[in-house]
Structure 1
């Protein structure tokens, strides 16, 4: 069942039943008659295929299904902010934000353009905010529209998680986990955790979005990915995010196997005679490298090539006398195959903490929690 098949007002009523304990009190709280509330509850239970409450003489007692779903409903409603937000309006604004046009939103949802336009206009009027504006031939979200779209995305994530947990309760695991993978997670820890997890949950789908932190942090904050794995930031500047450490990474200096410095442990002055390939300015590894040379009072060697791609770095090193920095996990295959060699570790100031970044408000589902546990287990094996 798709979340768009559910009525937000009916879901809000279910949350009130769980909180207040009786149909009468819940009906008054959501401004519905008791017969209308009874019909709304029956419809949602029919859609879910599960009973949410046990009807007793002293009130309504939540079932295990309600215990899973109601906290997600409350979290979604907290995100939705206003009682003027309906399922149709939420869907229309998200479709417009994701597609960038009413026509694109129509193609994505199957709804008519006038229907979507009316829903967004009604939402704007009810909230007394300008959510979209026309620029030339395009329709763009205002700052208020963009902020509301982010809020709606997080509400959608909560509802989708609630329905996924209901399906799991019925023995049908349909959850999809979306992971943002920064470079240091891709070599060992993430593949190991994915393989371990899928042995137990072969029906769960795991989508991996690769990129640098700057490319992944906004999708994480918007709810488009569930977690981000890679080097943690100290200090963490985004107050709506939370970091959990997994292990400490100790970069090494790498070169081609037959490099003139192979088999030695050169000092900084010797290393400065060779060109390097490093990530661009602003990357923590590049900043640490520049600081290392500055603190030693040595002019930093040239960096003719800037790249964070291990494939590019490997090929440049194999065909030149360039030097680079990498995590041992990233070049384990190349070192074992004797394509590259290690010239030794770098100072402790280079050490990076690798971990998981999530939204501070994020509450993982059961399968997401298991995946996090697998990440921790692989990290423990690594150390």
Structure 2
């Protein structure tokens, strides 16, 4: 397997066609096709299926794609490391940040980062496990500020804790069950929870088992705070938010915490990077800027953030 062949496979996966892949990596369709043929000969498996609507990867192609992304990313980073030694800083940094940290601290951290590294382009993602972990794993994400995968070990990702906070059940302000005192009163409702791909969402079920309750009849998974807020405001669905997010969103978006007596698990947020991979200058700078923003306490001048931080333990 050659690096240019792996890059061709990644480009095909990202664009869904040979022509699109050629445009993406500034090559020709014939060259992409040849790379793919040689790669399939090398692994002795069919990697793609050609259909009238484009190109899709086979199961074997999907398996190889995970490694191809990581290899391509590592080669790119190796070039960037050599560029840095010559005084040329990398051009892009990809960061995922969980919602309440983004609302409270991301503007200050980005302002600091841009002042120090104005030549670096930022690529920012919503920091949900289902989005961040696959990107960390394949090398397309550099830094994740968010929740650690339940039961995760340090073999794959390095975790540096930042915050600890409690969580709350959230519903619209005029929800029929807004005054419920027990999770048992909410089991018949539709629940929205963030999907944890590592445990296939089972982590959300454990909350009910810990209190001797059955799993709710209807659990749905979400990948966006915007979607969650829209559904909570307009339906009788309920969800689980870390308390800082409740404080930051409740008044603005017409939501409230349901006063159930059961204690929910704490929400831990930290800085997560790939284990065994040297952090480059841009990643180190962003992490430093985020920590400085938290420690500088400029956020105490913003009443909503100050209120949200009353429920947070700062661990740095």
Map 1:121-200; keep pairs closer than 5 Å: 129-130=43-44, 135=49, 142=60, 146=65, 149-166=68-85, 169=87, 173-183=89-99, 185-200=101-116
Q: Which has the larger radius of gyration?
A: 1
Q: Aligned partners of 1:225 and 1:212: how far apart in 2?
A: 13
Is it true that 1:246 corresponds to 2:165 in the alignment? no
Deviations for 1:83-132, whole angstroms, at most 9, x for unmatched residues? Answer: xx8xxx5234303332245433332333344445556667788xx64476
Do the aligned partners of residues 129 and 253 (structure 1) sit closer, same or farther apart at CA in structure 2, a change above 3 Å counting? closer
Of 22, 27, 42, the residue aligned with 1:111 is 27
CA drift of 1:369 comes to 0.3
SS for the counterpart of 2:243 is: coil
So what's the TM-score if we normalise by structure 2? 0.69
Whether the 8 Å contact between 1:183 and 1:211 is mirrored in structure 2 is yes
Which structure has more strand as a fraction of its residues? 2
How many Å apart are 1:206 and its aligned residue? Answer: 0.7
- CA 113–324 in structure 1, closer or farther in 2 if over 3 Å, else same: closer
Unaligned runs of 5+ in 1: 1-84
CA distance in 1, matches of 2:227, 2:76: 36
C-alpha contact (below 8 Å) 2:95/2:141 kept by paired residues:
yes
Partner Cα distance (2:260, 2:182) in 1:
11
Equivalent positions of 1:1-383 (< 5 A) are 89-100=2-13, 102-116=18-32, 129-130=43-44, 135=49, 142=60, 146=65, 149-166=68-85, 169=87, 173-183=89-99, 185-210=101-126, 212-236=128-152, 239-258=155-174, 266-269=181-184, 271-272=185-186, 275-279=189-193, 287=202, 290-298=205-213, 303=218, 307=222, 309-319=224-234, 322-337=237-252, 339-344=254-259, 350-380=265-295, 381=297, 383=314
Counterpart of 2:302 in structure 1 is none
What CA distance in whole angstroms lies between the structure 1 residues aligned with 2:56 and 2:252?
54
- Distance (whole Å) between structure 2 residues aligned to residue 278 and residue 119 of structure 1: 44
After superposition, the CA RMSD in angstroms is: 4.1
Per the alignment, do residues 308 and 145 of structure 1 end up closer, same or farther by CA in structure 2, a change over 3 Å counting?
closer
Q: How many residue pairs are counted as aligned between the two chains?
A: 289
- Cα pair 2:193 2:240 within 8 Å, conserved: no
Give the Cα–Cα distance (whole angstroms) in 2 for the partners of residues 176 and 350 of structure 1. 36
* Equivalent pair of 2:171/2:256 in contact (CA under 8 Å): yes
> So what's the TM-score if we normalise by structure 1?
0.59
Distance of aligned partners of 1:231 and 1:346 in 2 relative to their CA distance in 1, 3 Å threshold: farther
Contact 1:184 1:231 in 2 (8 A): no
Q: Distance in 2 between matches of 1:276 and 1:207?
A: 33
Gaps of at least 5 residues in structure 2 are 298-308
Q: SS at the partner of 1:350?
A: coil
Change (3 A) 1:348 1:161: farther
In 2, Cα distance between equivalents of 1:359 and 1:304: 31
